[in-house]
Amino acid sequence: MTPTAVRTVVVVGHGMVGHRFVQELRSRDEADRIRVVVLSEEPVAAYDRVGLSGYVGSWDITAMALSGNDYPDDDLVEVHLGCAAIDIDRAGHRVITDNGEFAYDALVLATGSYPFVPPVSGSDHPRSFVYRTLADLDAIRSAAEAAGPGAPGVVVGGGLLGLEAANALRLLGMTPHIVEFAPRLMPLQVDAGGGALLADLVTDLGLHVHTGVSTTSIADSTDSTPADSPLADSSLAVTLSDGTALTAALVVFSAGVRPQDALGRGAGLDVGERGGIITDTCCRTSDPDIYAIGEVAAVQGRCYGLVAPGYTMAQIAAEQILGSGRSTFPGADMSTKLKLLGVDVASFGDAMGVTEGALEIVHSDPVAGTYKKLVVSDDATTLLGGILVGDADAYAMLKPLVGQQLPGDPGALIAPAGGDSGIGLSALPDDAQICSCNSVSKGDICGAIAEGACTVADLKKCTGAGTTCGGCVPSLTKLLTDSGVTLSTSLCEHFTQSRAELFSIVAGTGIRTFSELIARFGTGGGCEICKPTVASILASTSSDHILDGEQAALQDTNDHFLANLQRNGTYSVVPRMPGGEVTPDQLIVIGQIAKDFGLYTKITGGQRIDMFGARVEQLPLIWQRLVDAGMESGHAYGKSLRTVKSCVGSSWCRYGVQDSVAMAVRLETRYRGLRSPHKLKFGVSGCARECAEARGKDVGVIATEAGWNLYVGGNGGQSPTHAQLLVSGIDDETLISYIDRYLMFYVRSADRLQRTAPWQESFEGGLDKLREIICDDSLGIADDLEAAMAKHVEGYQDEWAAVLADEDKLRRFVSFVNAPDVPDPTIAFDDSSGRRVPVLLGSPTVALHAQQEEAR
């Protein structure tokens, strides 16, 4: 029974920092002394505002949700969504909202910030927007879709948020213009050299950059626009301070943020000269019962606009309220690393070189599209900061070195590719911060490794490093290997090679048998790990039947009998229904088979019909009737494509914008029988309503007016993962070619039994690198991948049809080799509940059944 809480903490704001505070407080309140009430002005619970652009394309609010934001099974946390706080009665310890009053013992203000909109004439125009919330993006999307593909959009602000907004317009199919008052983009993060290169890089991507100018007015355009233009009757005239006039369908203000301190001001709390509720280093305001954290807090007069310092404040405030707090706010690491419009940008430490006597070391390569600058002390022995544009791979190693004595030449740290700095993570002291998002030091990580953490997943779990932005994951891997942890890639004791290496060996040598492969490249006789894995590789590299010759002995039970083994020794029969389509005649055949053989039938989540309870000797008889009806194996037993789920699409649905069924049938027909490291599931939705749940699939396809959006790496199961947007607005043929490449690259490079989600997560460079390989052909292997898939498609044969035509293969479908006509007497069913269920081995029912069979 949960003890009665003795104090109430009210949290105003349910953003990333407010949510972290609740988690910190509840995890530390072991005696359950505190009840937490969360007031959220937004109608949705805490979501990833840092990754707001990830909402564009998917339009899936659930994918943006922060883990645990509904506090499941915690009776001491209640969340009120769409409940705006409008006043604080400090004397009465109450928060007044538009939906009632809430009493508090302690109050935490986590109200964040609001977008700054410069005083521009016309800034309140109906087609002027800000870029801050999911609702803002929904409004921008509606205006962009109304304007049509290619329509220009103006973003006022060329900082971090401005470039994020420009990227969102680009993903929506618009042509963005960026207007920045400063002489360069990202003026707070990069210098003149870095800003110039950044402008060149984003211009090459189709953006138009206007720096050193401001926006003076926004008004309905008086210019004549062709009647067939998407801007007809809806264009804006955006005038800049240099006289330039831009035509736009919409304007997005993303010129920075200001602390959302109105609630604190109204309550008489002390505020800073430039805004923000002033706190001490314990995050306590001028009222000792009120705390402020995150962007609204001005700790000793200074506000911080990044999530990492907000997380630190959340922890400090939680400890203070519980009375266990000894830590104080230490200041914040304002380093940033991100990919904007596909361009790597990073800055850390004293990036602008304001430290007295600081020296700058610069390496600029306009041809390669990179700019690297280090700021060092006057004696060039201490790293103070730096800027990286175009290539930020060195960030993970450089940032922890800030403030540290350099053991070598600092210029070597940014030497051109091929140079060797001789400096790495091993040179860092234990107090060097590896994960700034969660304040995890090198010592914390090495300590976890010493206590037994031997994988990146272990380190994430026990230290929290790598769980927010993920930028430090390469460093975690390096620290593991530097600590002597061997991250083995061996398939098993018989092969020192990884699955990907064995795939390359088979493909390159033309080996077609397990015995030859293990004789030449392995040891021993093989095991239950390597045999099925090699069998899958052999199947992936040819169209040979999996039961031909030696291959038959390699298969596991399911593949051996081309059916899924069930708990009572029977098998399930699953015919393929591409895209969920099935004819009335085929339904009749399925029903008659189920009736004749006494099978249990069930509609699956993959839009097909499973028949359960077939004995092994019945499988050929059942499949003969299915094949005669024009049906084929659904591969429910194999590590291969299972289903392509679809909605009815534009053929029937009034919301559909593309023929999702036709595309689903095409995809399932194309990739059927493709053997892979693990099972594959697809989904095709005919519109953004997403009825086929495509974002929960390994490959998800969602229709839009502009074409297809392709998502990859979504998995259900024990660790559900949403698929990530690979590319948007593509036509049918481009979609097919990209899926060809993605699947074949996965088949070639994934580990044994590794689904697409963990493969994608562990892939060095992540989704961005995969996008370069799949869409941009950065490795020059696209033609090879497509040719390999074409070979598979051309050589496909239905596995069950081939078995039925081969007497040798048919002989294996018996319960007892020495008595092929005798059915297994241990198999029995119970129909007493009104539906057929198996009775397990050893039960009285099975024993009675066996005795009856023996008596006969």
Q: Which residues are annotated as a binding site for siroheme?
A: 691
Residue 121: other Cβ atoms inside 10 A: 12
- Dihedral in degrees, nearest 10, Cα atoms 436, 442, 444, 449: 130
For helices 530-540 and 514-521, the axis angle rounded to 10 degrees is 110
- Count, residues in the chain: 856
Residues at the annotated binding site?
647, 653, 687, 691
Task: Annotate 708-770 with DSSP letters as a single string.
Answer: EEEEE--B-TTS-B--EEEEEEE-HHHHHHHHHHHHHHHHHHPPTT--HHHHHHHSTTHHHHH
Q: How far apart are the first and last CA of the chain?
A: 59
- Token pair for 59: 């339009």
- Closest Cα to residue 108, out of 313, 270, 325? 313
- d(CA 57, CA 53) in angstroms, rounded, equals 9
Amino acid at 312: T
Residue 295: both structure tokens together:
């962007």
- Residue ranges of the annotated binding site for [4Fe-4S] cluster are 647, 653, 687, 691
What span, in angstroms and rounded, lies between the C-alpha atoms of 614 and 643? Answer: 22
Q: Which amino acid is at 66?
A: L
Rounded CA gap, 467 and 678, in Å? 26
Residue 783: strand, helix, or coil: helix
Distance CA 642, CA 199 (A): 46
Query: Can you point out the beta strands (E) in 28-167?
Result: 34-40, 77-81, 85-89, 94-97, 100-103, 106-109, 113-115, 128-130, 152-156
Contact criterion met (CB below 8 Å) for 649 and 656: yes
Closest CA to 625 of 797, 801, 821, 482: 801
Phi and psi torsions of 300, nearest 5°: 50, 40
Rounded (10°) CA dihedral 723, 727, 730, 736: -60
Tokens for 453, please give them. Answer: 């953490």
Strand order in the sheet with 85-89: 85-89, 94-97, 100-103
**Cβ neighbours around 212 below 10 Å, total:** 13
Residue 151 is which amino acid?
Answer: A
Distance CA 390, CA 372 (A): 9
Distance CA 657, CA 706 (A): 9
Question: For residue 543, what are its two tokens?
Answer: 């169209």
Cβ atoms of 155 and 256 closer than 8 Å: no
E strands along 159-204, which residues?
Answer: 175-180
Q: How far apart, in whole angstroms, are the C-alpha atoms of residue 301 and residue 313?
A: 14
Strands of 332-401, DSSP E: 336-340, 343-349, 359-365, 370-376, 383-389
Assess contact for 93 and 105: CB atoms under 8 A: yes
**Angle CA 732–733–736, to nearest 5:** 90
Q: Which residue pairs, CB below 8 angstroms and at least 24 apart, start in 800-809?
A: 800/562, 800/623, 800/626, 800/627, 800/632, 800/633, 801/627, 801/632, 802/545, 803/545, 803/547, 803/562, 803/620, 803/623, 804/620, 804/623, 804/624, 804/627, 809/545, 809/547, 809/552
Return the amino acid letter for 258. R
Helix (H) or strand (E) holding 268: none
